[in-house]
Amino acid sequence: MNATVQLTGKARTFPSDEIIVSKTDTAGRILYANDTFLKISDYTEAELIGKPHNIIRHPDMPSCIFNLLWETLSAGQEMFAYVNNRTKYGDNYWVLAHVTPTYDQEGKIIGYHSSRRSPTDSALAVIEPVYAKLRAEERRHQKKKDAIAASSKMLRAFLDEKGMPYEAFIFTIINA
């Protein structure tokens, strides 16, 4: 990730009829980025191909969500998640991501495919405060491992209170 990018505080959106698409290898390096991805992120194809997908990770995004994402994908399952991303120039944009493993002919995971849509304002009004609490918990810890463990515990408690797993929670707010 390019840590030298200054955040602008400017939020971007993209049309609801457009889809951001990317493909990565199993290490999360970008193999493909569609035109919508390039346009919203301000990166060129040459700047993205071969780079870690976390080049667009916004620092306000809770690490426990990415931890959950990787656990889910590594188990061969798809995942839906709201993600706050950062452009090349420091703006941010939210997406509703659908990430799936890609398999070879022998059934081995060889990469991941992500399709991302523009989320509704009402869904963001629900998810942003949840993520802010998770990130605040992470920032209380000096060690990344401890931060992820603490925020993951907080996320589990929140979902247990709701009586549902993360993906079910996400589906309840898609059209909130």
Residue 28 Ramachandran class (φ > 0 left, ψ -120 to 50 alpha, else beta): left
Spacing of C-alpha 45 from chain mean position: 20
**Is there a contact between 173 and 123 (Cβ–Cβ < 8 Å)?**
yes
- Closest by alpha carbon to 117, among 101, 94, 86, 100? 94
Query: What is the rounded radius of gyration, in angstroms, for the C-alpha atoms of the chain?
Result: 16
- Mean pLDDT lowest among 4-8, 63-67, 94-98, 149-153: 4-8
Task: Please give the mean pLDDT across all residues of the chain.
Answer: 95
Whole-number Å distance between alpha carbons of 34 and 128: 27
**Is there a contact between 36 and 16 (Cβ–Cβ < 8 Å)?**
no
Indicate if the alpha-carbon torsion angle 72, 105, 49, 21 is positive or negative. negative
Is the pLDDT confidence value at 16 over 70?
Answer: yes
Place of tokens 């993906």: 167
What would the mean pLDDT of 28-55 be, rounded to a whole number?
97
Is the pLDDT confidence value at 176 over 70?
Answer: no
> Which tens digits make up the pLDDT trace of 74-84?
999 999 999 99
Whole-number Å distance between alpha carbons of 32 and 175: 29
> Which tens digits make up the pLDDT trace of 107-165?
999 999 999 999 999 999 999 999 999 999 999 999 999 999 999 999 999 999 999 99
Encode 135-145: b = buried (16+ Cβ within 10 Å), e = exposed: bebbeeeeeee
Place of tokens 């980025």: 33
Helices 144-162 and 63-74: angle between axes, nearest 10 degrees: 80
